[in-house]
Structure 1
Amino acid sequence: MSKRERWNTLLELLADEGRLEVEETAAVLGVSSATIRRDLDELAEQQMLVRTRGGALAQGVSYELPLRYKSSRHASEKQRIAAAAVELVGDGEVVGFNGGTTTTEVARALALRAGKGRQETSALTDATAPVFTVVTNALNIAGELAVRPQIKLVITGGVARPQTYELVGPLAAGVLKEVVLDIAVLGVDALDPQLGVMTRQEDEAGISRLFAERAQRVVVVADSSKLGKRAFARICGLEAVDTVVTDAAAPAEAVARLQDAGITVIRV
């Protein structure tokens, strides 16, 4: 197991348990106690956790795993979800993306599709014209798409959250209130049949809600670990969602309840 993989696993365990003990964690990961101590010391230096005698505690009361450490979680599922979700986008449409690892994968898939589309049509049309318009509040998505001439990129303003790279606040809201989207692709932290679509941070929830309100169609992309879960801040009710794209491990009961609410569920 590489150092990055160990760190990902340590932070995931910490997010689930709230605390770690060196000896127990070493046994779980199959490495020496000395290795775990070094890893915890380095993560503490980055303020990712609080080092304690014999282990570590989650940093802060409400622990949130930063985006750069979440990228390897359910990676293959997210790529399959992205491939299915991008097929829901029509040619030339205006697409909104909030932040998250799954929406990042969808944005990458859209960029590849746009590149192929421009190659196929360049002989008949203006090769410099964008194939899609993307509106996003996610700095990492904007960074990847900014170099894609086939995509017209609109970035909201706002204050950056270092955990998720999302721009939030009145400046972000101001831009979204001035645009109209064909489709909003939303990454979420939880999807509950009664409470709807949720995330951990209230400021991010407000911006994601605006994405949904400004779009003709709303697609939620969420791996099966998010279904049937609840989080602190509500984005919107199920009545605002048209399609949920998830993986094949999604619980049948959760899928049925979403379908009963009139949502199209795609499992990949």
Structure 2
Amino acid sequence: MSKQERWSALLELLAAQGRLDVEEAASALEVSSATIRRDLDELAEQKMLVRTRGGAIAHGVSYELPLRYKSSRHAPEKQRIAAAAADLIGDGEVVGLNGGTTTTEVARVLALRASGGQRESTGAPSPAFTVVTNALNIAGELAVRPQIKIVTTGGVARPQTYELVGPLTMGVLNEVVLDAVVLGVDGVDPQLGIMAHHEDEAGVSRLFAERAHRVIVVTDSSKLGRRAFARICGLDRIDVLVTDASISAETSARLVDAGVKVIAV
């Protein structure tokens, strides 16, 4: 197992458990305790965890993995969620996308539609979309698609999520009008609404929601009932929540009671 693979595995364990024990991690990864200690020390130097005596703990209320380590988590669910969310976007619409692994999957589905990949049998003309995003990775993937008009915000890049934030980002979003926005989130609470790990990202997502006629939230069910640091908006602003089939009947009913249409795939 390479160092990068070990780091990814350690961060996955930390995200799931909230803390790591050196001996348990060494057993799980089938490497020596000395190797795990070196890995944890290096990850601590990069501010990706907090080193403790005999192990490590996660940062924050709800631990944030860097995007490059999150791409494989719940991947099949995220792909199904993305396909269902993309079906809610009409051809030719202006759609906003914030950063995240699930919104990245939505962008890929829209790119396939725009290239005619889903319409070859009918011979129908390829649809076109205008995508407004503050995510550098999404902009990079869509920039090579001539059927999609890609609008990126300015701003300061956050290396964890590749998202642009700050006054320059807000300035661009204040000048656009969106048919729909697809928001990835870090937490969904029946009382508090939807949340993000960082206040600057939450502020951008809030403005995305304000500029859109329809607000679509995409998240796997592990984030339902979870709280994160910064509130984006209440459930009253959300039109549709797309999640996986593991959502509980109680959670679904509470969201529906709040006026949110729930699509579980």
1:263 maps to a residue whose letter is V
SS in 1 for 2:115: helix
User: CA shift at 1:163, angstroms?
Assistant: 0.8
TM score, norm. by length of structure 1: 0.88
Question: Aligned pair in 2 of structure 1 residues 118, 60: CA closer, same or farther (>3 Å)?
Answer: closer
SS in 1 for 2:39: helix
1:110-149 matched pairs, under 5 angstroms: 110-116=110-116, 131-149=128-146
Please list the CA deviations of residues 113-163 of structure 1 after superposition, one character each: whole Å capped at 9, or x if unmatched. Answer: 111169759x887x8xx7110000001111111111110000000111111
SS in 2 for 1:191: strand
SS in 1 for 2:132: strand
**Larger mean Cα displacement after TM superposition, 58-67 or 169-178:** 58-67
| Partner of residue 252 from structure 1, selected from 249, 254, 260 | 249
Please list the CA deviations of residues 82-126 of structure 1 after superposition, one character each: whole Å capped at 9, or x if unmatched. Answer: 1111100000000100011110111111111111169759x887x
Aligned position for 1:103:
103
Is 1:209 the counterpart of 2:201? The answer is: no
Contact 1:190 1:198 (C-alpha < 8 Å) held by counterparts: yes
Distance 2:117 2:79 in 1: 20
2:179 maps to a residue whose letter is D
Aligned position for 1:165:
162
Question: Aligned pair in 2 of structure 1 residues 75, 25: CA closer, same or farther (>3 Å)?
Answer: same
1:188-267 matched pairs, under 5 angstroms: 188-267=185-264
Contact 1:118 1:131 (C-alpha < 8 Å) held by counterparts: no
Distance 2:22 2:3 in 1: 16
Please list the CA deviations of residues 193-214 of structure 1 after superposition, one character each: whole Å capped at 9, or x if unmatched. Answer: 1111111111111110011011
Aligned position for 2:55:
55
Distance 1:187 1:23 in 2: 35
Question: Aligned pair in 2 of structure 1 residues 61, 225: CA closer, same or farther (>3 Å)?
Answer: closer
User: CA shift at 1:8, angstroms?
Assistant: 2.4
Contact 1:118 1:150 (C-alpha < 8 Å) held by counterparts: no
1:261 maps to a residue whose letter is A
Aligned position for 2:7:
7
Question: Aligned pair in 2 of structure 1 residues 94, 60: CA closer, same or farther (>3 Å)?
Answer: closer
User: CA RMSD for the aligned pairs?
Assistant: 2.7
User: CA shift at 1:4, angstroms?
Assistant: 4.4
Distance 1:114 1:102 in 2: 19
> For this pair of structures, how many residues does the alignment match?
265
**Unaligned regions of 5+ residues in structure 1, if any?**
none
Contact 2:113 2:119 (C-alpha < 8 Å) held by counterparts: no
Contact 1:117 1:131 (C-alpha < 8 Å) held by counterparts: no
SS in 2 for 1:90: coil
1:22-33 matched pairs, under 5 angstroms: 22-33=22-33
User: CA shift at 1:15, angstroms?
Assistant: 3.8
**Larger mean Cα displacement after TM superposition, 59-68 or 92-101:** 59-68
TM score, norm. by length of structure 2: 0.89
Aligned position for 1:75:
75
SS in 1 for 2:150: strand
User: CA shift at 1:169, angstroms?
Assistant: 0.9
SS in 2 for 1:116: coil
2:89 maps to a residue whose letter is V
SS in 2 for 1:206: helix
Question: Aligned pair in 2 of structure 1 residues 77, 182: CA closer, same or farther (>3 Å)?
Answer: same
